[in-house]
Structure 1
Amino acid sequence: MPVSSIASAQPRMLVLARESRGWRQGDVAKEMKALDGRDDSKISQAYVSRAESGKLIVSGERLDLFAHALGYPADLLTLDEGEVGAGPGLVHHRKKQALGAPELRRIHAVLNLTRVQLRGLLGDAPRVADLKIPHITVDDYTSPEDAARAVRNEWALPRGPLSSVVTTLEAAGGWVFSRSLIAPAVLDSGNESVPVDAVSSCPPGEDPIILLNEGTPGNRQRFTLAHELGHMVMHPVPHPDQEKQANRFAAEFLMPANDIRDALAGTIDLSRLLDLKEQWRVSMWALLRRAHTLSAISDWQYRTLAVEMSSLGYRTTEPVKLDAEKPFAVRAAVDKQLSQGRDIESLAQATLLRTEEFSRLYLDLNPLEHPNRPIRHLLPRSRHEQ
């Protein structure tokens, strides 16, 4: 095991690395003791706690032991990194309020480390976007719907359904990553709150980042992405009604009132909602709520259709599965680096990842399926998964 003899760990990076794995301090201590292999090892949960609080210096062999246990290069743990959290670098997430604090901390840690990886990947060649994400203040005079219309106008988007929300976000300088955030739940589109489908941040001076939860149903994905865009446009600081505002923004951004009103004229039934779903590429539930919001149907019609859809099981599984949109910009950046002579090992080093994890996250490669690749370290699983 190589020894990092000069550098020492930054306490907050020890925390982020651990939380990104979904581990507790005791999990780290147990892994480190197993790797250390000495009967008289002094490593314990208390030792990890003191290291993370900055009460002791972690360097040399102990730094390498931490890195090996957590499955990251030691250079990551020594990084002095500004963290995105509350305030100007607010992290937004479309989630149920019941999500536990440990899960939420892991998701935020993954987002922060993704920011580190992106900077390492781009190096001195930041991406030049055709568009930019504007910041619009919502108040008594400007509604979320006004903000959505302003963004569509500024970006000169065509009327009607968008061909791709992912491509639109990437054209505006956003980076969309597909990441395993939490086990995706069933559709449940009848509810306003949903499991974590995405998390985003748009701190000043940095490119916007959206982490899209792997496995998010295509029926919900476009609305989720538009919801996150709404946060980045309207909420540079927290707002008590930000989730409702982001939902209103997303509905207008994906289904502009002036464009969809005619399509909602006449009889609205399940067959009509299904046709509109294939055209607008959003869930039947989103279309039903939109019809109600625009007064295309009465309260009684809304409740009747909602009961009918629920009785048919459409809360969890709607007819006609929509294909999920795929991000392109991140993979294109990796492919460009590879085409210019970089190799996977050097890109992994630049992004402060081990080669195997970089391959899995950025090239969709499983090291176990590519036996010709050297496997230096297989990532440890969470104790909860064992």
Structure 2
Amino acid sequence: MVTPTRITLARKRRGLTLAELSDRAGVSLQSLSNYETGRTGPRPTTVRRIADALGFPEGFFSGPEIDELPAEGISWRARTKTPPRVLDSARAAGTLAAQLYDWIDERFRLPEPDLPSLGKPDPETAAEMVRTRWGLGHAPAPNMVHLLEARGVRVFSLPPDSLEVDAFAVWRGRVPFVFLNTVKTVERSRFDAAHELGHLIMHGSGERSCSGPEAERQANDFASAFLMPASGVLGHMPAGARVDQILEGKSIWKVSAMALTYRMHDLNLLSDWQYRSICAELSTRGYRTDEPQGLKKRETSQILTKVFQGLWSKGIRPGDVADQLNVTADELGTMLFGLSINTTHGHDAAPADQAGWTLSLVR
């Protein structure tokens, strides 16, 4: 028995219209429409053709209903003109990652969500309040993925085919999710993580809009204040700093040169003229789209690594997890920040990072 919503989800994941899937699978457009609405069901041979066209195991389509991540609650960090099908594909990828989270949550004790509800403070105050609650003081923020995970945020990577989406966040019930692009520079990815945290904190109640120019500005200001607390920047950076001083100073907070320049201007350490001049010089040096001589080690999930270490110790291989979720190993791998789950001579490779503690399995 085929579950109609799973056909729709798989199609969206591949960024296809019904007409495009019809061409790929050799199934009529009207038939596909009927399958997705549940008016009729496909024969086993037709399911096989649809599965081959979409790159999903046949078993995926007969699983239970899957509730997609709530579209109205997603804060997209993406270009304004990003095509809807790209957003739909990223949302579908997030939905599949949420299924992986459900699978993990049944077997491991994960950190409980600890994101404060702050009412309606301004972004600067909100960032200070979160820092105080989490015991960060005025020190530079640590690994952002680890920090979010320790506070109960479920963090996954976005697939390579979602490059037009920098990041997005969403509440699924009482559980917060953040999805990050892993192709951007490390510094910009840290900012994206803080930006999405800002959305979860300030726009997560459902009472306030999580999208639009004003919400994006607020999330940017939150991220700037969270990563570069005012007292730290004022204490370390001189007024009217030169470009070389900014390039040296950005390593303190592990942010991009442009982000530190913006923050200094916001804190009145740079005049309007100085800000424009420095931005122009940084752009000439390649810092508008890249971060020359920036951080090399990407921040990745600690929890996912430890989960797969724990599974490995019990004889459960990543391929087994993919089979239970009825997705391919490649699809599973796109969620895991590059955690190695490839197979060699028919055997799964062990997780690349074997250091650190291991989560306890639920008995």
Q: Give the direction of change, closer, same or farther, for the CA distance of 1:232–1:181 in structure 2 (3 Å limit).
A: farther
Match of 2:77 in 1: 94
Name structure 1 gaps, 5 residues minimum. 1-6, 34-42, 185-194, 375-386
Q: Distance in 2 between matches of 1:252 and 1:83?
A: 32
Counterpart contact for 1:50–1:56, Cα < 8 Å: yes
Number of residues of Structure 1 aligned to a counterpart in Structure 2: 339
The alignment's TM-score, normalised by the length of structure 1, stands at 0.80
Match of 1:334 among 291, 308, 332: 308
Counterpart contact for 2:318–2:341, Cα < 8 Å: no
Match of 2:102 among 110, 119, 124: 119
Match of 1:266 in 2: 239
Matched, 1:292 2:265: yes
SS in 2 for 1:330: helix
Q: Distance in 2 between matches of 1:20 and 1:364?
A: 22
Match of 1:85 among 63, 70, 85: 70
Q: Give the direction of change, closer, same or farther, for the CA distance of 1:290–1:66 in structure 2 (3 Å limit).
A: same
Match of 1:135 among 117, 128, 141: 117
Q: Distance in 1 between matches of 2:319 and 2:165?
A: 32
Match of 2:88 in 1: 105
Matched, 1:22 2:6: no
Q: Distance in 2 between matches of 1:28 and 1:335?
A: 38
Instruction: List, as ranges, runs of 4+ consecutive aligned residues in structure 1 with deviation greater than 6 Å.
Output: none
Q: Distance in 1 between matches of 2:320 and 2:83?
A: 37
The alignment's TM-score, normalised by the length of structure 2, stands at 0.85
Q: Distance in 2 between matches of 1:354 and 1:326?
A: 21
Match of 1:160 among 128, 139, 162: 139
SS in 2 for 1:201: strand
Matched, 1:283 2:252: no
Task: Provide Cα deviations, 1:98-121, integer angstroms capped at 9, x if missing partner.
Answer: 111111111111111111122123
SS in 1 for 2:180: strand
SS in 2 for 1:199: strand
Q: Give the direction of change, closer, same or farther, for the CA distance of 1:182–1:62 in structure 2 (3 Å limit).
A: closer
Q: Is 314-323 or 255-264 further displaced after alignment?
A: 314-323
Percent identity of paired positions between Structure 1 and Structure 2: 29
Name structure 2 gaps, 5 residues minimum. 349-363
Greater RCO (Cα-Cα under 8 Å, separation 6 or more): 1
Counterpart contact for 2:160–2:334, Cα < 8 Å: no
SS in 2 for 1:210: strand
SS in 2 for 1:8: coil
Shift of 1:64: 4.4
Match of 1:252 in 2: 225
- Give the structure with higher Rg (CA): 1
Alignment of 1:173-322 (within 5 A): 173-182=152-161, 184=163, 195-206=164-175, 208-236=176-204, 237=206, 238-239=209-210, 240=212, 241-322=214-295
Q: Distance in 1 between matches of 2:260 and 2:57?
A: 47
